[in-house]
Amino acid sequence: MKFLLVFDFDYTIVDENSDTWIVKCAPDSKLPDEIRNSYQKGRWTEYMGRVFRYLGDNGIREEEMKRSMTKIPFTEGMKDLFDFISKHKGCFDCIIISDSNTIFIDWILRAANVCQVFDEVFTNPACFDDCGYLTVQNFHAHNCAKCPINLCKRKVLEEFLENHLKQRVKYSQILYIGDGANDLCPVMYLKKDDVVMPRHGYMLQKMIAQLSQDLVPVEASVVAWSSGSEIQTYLELLIKG
């Protein structure tokens, strides 16, 4: 019986938003107002498509983008946490569910030499087209009214667990580590034996606190964190039983 660790990426693994960080590559490190103001709620991936097209139109290509992305700082203590998880892979399966994209996450994890920590990464598919422009697509279609149209993290988690049940893999506990509003939907799916670990002071923790005030608490235990070392301390206690 293993533990399943589910990580968000932006403001969880890295201490930035990878999608907004890429704007550093734009002329004067900013976007024109017509692009900045074109975002529609729940349609972030479409918005990022316009950002990438603008970067491409301005001659920004793969190498420059990669150089910028691999400078993103990791959240304090995360690399040490990943070393710990690697040493105890017999205890943990580890996945990422993120609203970033495959290219950014792959670049960042490879540059930090931590790819081997993660069994699977679920995020929006991205690639460079024949003209050298970065393109991004929705991860999937879903019917969840609470989530952006491109990604319902709860659906991803449900399908992941169903597939593993077919292979007769059952987890003793799920630990969900995240920070943002789009992490609430999968968190509400967790059961009483599971643990949600919201980043201290970020939106997910505030939303969970509000639910508790509204007498609609999450079923899972709530353990807030500020650094990867706090998560590591919790995992150390967990595997000692």
The catalytic residue positions are 8, 10
Q: Which two tokens stand for residue 37?
A: 């103001």
CA distance 152 to 147: 5
> Is 21 within 8 Å of 69 (Cβ atoms)?
yes
Q: How many CA atoms lie within 13 A of 5 on its CB side?
A: 26
Give how far Cα 170 sits from Cα of 1, 120, 140, 166, 231, Å: 7, 16, 25, 9, 22
Q: Residue 88 phi/psi, 5° resolution?
A: -125, 40
Q: What secondary structure, in 3-state letters, does 124-162 show?
A: ECEEECCCCCEEECCCCCCCCCCCCCCCCHHHHHHHHHH
Measured between alpha carbons, how far is 199 from 7 in angstroms, rounded to an integer? 11
Q: How far is CA 206 from the centre of its chain?
A: 18
Q: Give the CA diameter of the chain.
A: 55
Cα 75 from Cα 17, distance rounded (Å): 11
